[in-house]
Amino acid sequence: MTRQSPQVLAAKIQRMAGRYSAEGMAKLTGKSKSYIQIVACYNGISLAKHYFKWDSDKDRQLVELRKSGKTSAQIGEIVGCDKRSVDHRVTILKRRKML
Q: Under a CB-based contact definition with an 8 Å cutoff, are residues 49 and 18 in contact?
A: yes
Give tens-digit pLDDT for 8-63: 999 999 988 887 888 889 998 999 999 999 999 999 998 887 778 899 999 999 99
Residue 1 has pLDDT above 60, yes or no: no
Residue 90 has pLDDT above 90, yes or no: yes
CA distance linking residue 25 with residue 14, whole number of Å: 11
In terms of CATH architecture, what is 56-95?
A: Orthogonal Bundle (1.10)
From residue 86, how far is each of 23, 49, 63, 94 by CA, in Å? Answer: 20, 16, 10, 12
The predicted pLDDT at position 95 comes to 95
